[in-house]
Structure 1
């Protein structure tokens, strides 16, 4: 690369890392000030608090890196413009697209890093962060779908419970139906089902089994039956944040399994999956917008560029959150919801780039 590329690339990455190092301690301080009363009340060990804030740092950085990247590019590019360095670059015969090249190289480095972070590091951090929060910081520790749970276990078996209590691993009004060639073969019902970990069996209370026969049904009734099944009842009611804690390959498998089970939260899981690809791509779009906005020297100086940049960044985050929430709560396509902010801001990036080039 030429001297120009190294000059801009070092400032691109250096300012971005500095921005992270400045804002993450602020986030930790604000979070600690808000949560310290509950930590002291629950007598949380210091080692667990330290691990929590390590996970919080990774979780926080993965969640807000587009904002940090956008502001850092605006910051150092505005300094270049105010020092008339941008004018010097362009007046020397360098085209605006050539001037943009080190920014694209930097965005590629950030994009790859963000993908690795979101695919492998952030899931583990998210699990630790959420488990700590539900263990020590929240009153409702059972963030689960607990009413009218209906799942397809495999190609032949379907189960239903009217209510599931995670703390006791107990389901009420349990039903299992077994089909072969779309024909019901038998049906098991029980007033309650509870997992007995000491024996690794399920206990069915007020057990009834109806075996469907050609010449008549066979009905079996028992007050209590201990048996085994090929499913874990707790896994049938996954945590709300479970998608965030899985690596991308495991998340794809989990979504496929939940679709087979008839989960009502598929959109929520797919939003998490698609964001792992859309957020890294947003690094390119936000970089182009930031350069286009801040590469011109303005009368108001750096403050005008920062104000405009912060406004655009929060509009992007607003769209990202709103469309994601709409998809989670309705039948709106998760892929469209996740990629629509990138599409809209991509169009804006092209317009601003052409304007800045002129």
Structure 2
């Protein structure tokens, strides 16, 4: 009876994981050095303490690792497999009666282990790290937000819509505020105010120079008020559509936030859906690229590891380029975010199947 797991499997899996983590460690150190050199002037200018700086780079590591996970799992596979092929270790293994399908077993195991780690990290660990990174940037790097976007429209409920021309966070004042209550296609009430300010303690809006228009069937009334206090289910922070926020939320938070933004009629909902689906698609990309890398690098060719690495970098760059292209196509041309995120995996999955069949035939 053949063993499910042998010494050679353990050897390959150990090589796979050690090469990947070594490559990631080197990448993290280089990325931290580059990022520090770019931000050191801000650290000095804003007098950032050593403790928060160290905590920032502690969170920066999972951020950069998650960003380039598919690239480095592919390069790690190419690198150590090519070394084995150059030393004829793979030829000896296959000559001993091990099929290529059986030879790939430790690669599958390694990619599944790394995929599970990436899956957990993408949905929970990396968003928390990104939140800490953004908090540090807000304190010591980014200039403080002075005003919201212009001409903001929000759908707070199926019957309530608000509009504000802009909001100044320093003065806590917004200009040209409008709240409309509708029933079907009929406008029931429209509140217009020259200025609006938010009370953070009472969580209510104070409107100034107010005009209230009410419509009750054939009867229409107009009321003028110097001041009006109302509670609306939004805050000044909701007026700013910050795209960086989607990377700082865990997946359950992101799902709830996306649904709320969809109800409010935000045009940027696709970006949040792409982020949500990407967190799952990326670990699967690691598995697919591992299979491609193993099939390519297992053949001994002239040029050795250098040729394999060059080919691996080209293929991984094409994958990331295609991934960005489909995301752009989704946000600008209306392609479903789910389809846009998984199209690169589907295409490169077909490539992996073709390469695998060429090896076993």
TM range (shorter): over 0.9
CA contact (8 A) 1:195 1:203 kept: yes
**CA shift in 2, pair 1:67/1:145, >3 Å:** farther
**CA shift in 2, pair 1:253/1:200, >3 Å:** closer
- In the alignment, the residues of structure 1 paired with residue 174 and residue 80 of structure 2 have an alpha-carbon distance, to the nearest angstrom, of 58
- In the alignment, the residues of structure 2 paired with residue 18 and residue 43 of structure 1 have an alpha-carbon distance, to the nearest angstrom, of 34
**CA shift in 2, pair 1:3/1:143, >3 Å:** farther
Structure 2: segments with no counterpart, 5+ residues: none
> Which residue of 2 is the match for residue 283 of structure 1?
286
Describe the SS at the equivalent of 2:266: coil
Describe the SS at the equivalent of 1:212: strand
> Which residue of 2 is the match for residue 33 of structure 1?
37
**CA shift in 2, pair 1:225/1:67, >3 Å:** same
CA deviation map 1:73-132 (0-9, x unaligned): 111111111111111111111111111111111111111111100000111111122232
The correspondence of residues 95-174 of structure 1 with structure 2, limited to 5 A, is: 95-139=99-143, 141-142=144-145, 146-174=149-177
Structure 1: segments with no counterpart, 5+ residues: none
CA contact (8 A) 1:201 1:227 kept: yes
CA contact (8 A) 1:195 1:201 kept: yes
> Which residue of 1 is the match for residue 71 of structure 2?
67
CA contact (8 A) 2:164 2:176 kept: yes
- In the alignment, the residues of structure 1 paired with residue 57 and residue 7 of structure 2 have an alpha-carbon distance, to the nearest angstrom, of 39
Q: CA deviation at 1:173?
A: 1.4
Q: CA deviation at 1:59?
A: 0.7
Describe the SS at the equivalent of 1:229: coil
**CA shift in 2, pair 1:294/1:167, >3 Å:** farther
Q: CA deviation at 1:52?
A: 1.2
Q: CA deviation at 1:71?
A: 0.8
**CA shift in 2, pair 1:248/1:144, >3 Å:** farther
- In the alignment, the residues of structure 2 paired with residue 52 and residue 325 of structure 1 have an alpha-carbon distance, to the nearest angstrom, of 30
> Which residue of 2 is the match for residue 307 of structure 1?
310
TM-score, structure 2 length as denominator? 0.93
> Which residue of 1 is the match for residue 80 of structure 2?
76
- In the alignment, the residues of structure 2 paired with residue 183 and residue 41 of structure 1 have an alpha-carbon distance, to the nearest angstrom, of 56
The answer as to 2:311 corresponding to 1:316 is no
CA deviation map 1:41-96 (0-9, x unaligned): 11111111111111111111111111111111111111111111111111111111
- In the alignment, the residues of structure 2 paired with residue 345 and residue 143 of structure 1 have an alpha-carbon distance, to the nearest angstrom, of 45
Q: Which moved more, 1:200-209 or 1:178-187?
A: 178-187
CA contact (8 A) 2:149 2:239 kept: no
The answer as to 2:34 corresponding to 1:24 is no
Aligned match for 2:329, one of 321, 326, 330:
326
> Which residue of 2 is the match for residue 345 of structure 1?
348
- In the alignment, the residues of structure 1 paired with residue 340 and residue 298 of structure 2 have an alpha-carbon distance, to the nearest angstrom, of 31
Q: CA deviation at 1:327?
A: 2.4
> Which residue of 1 is the match for residue 215 of structure 2?
212
The answer as to 2:56 corresponding to 1:52 is yes
> Which residue of 1 is the match for residue 182 of structure 2?
179
CA contact (8 A) 2:152 2:165 kept: yes
How many residue pairs match? The answer is: 357
Q: Which moved more, 1:177-186 or 1:106-115?
A: 177-186
Q: CA RMSD in A?
A: 1.9
**CA shift in 2, pair 1:181/1:348, >3 Å:** same
TM-score, structure 1 length as denominator? 0.94
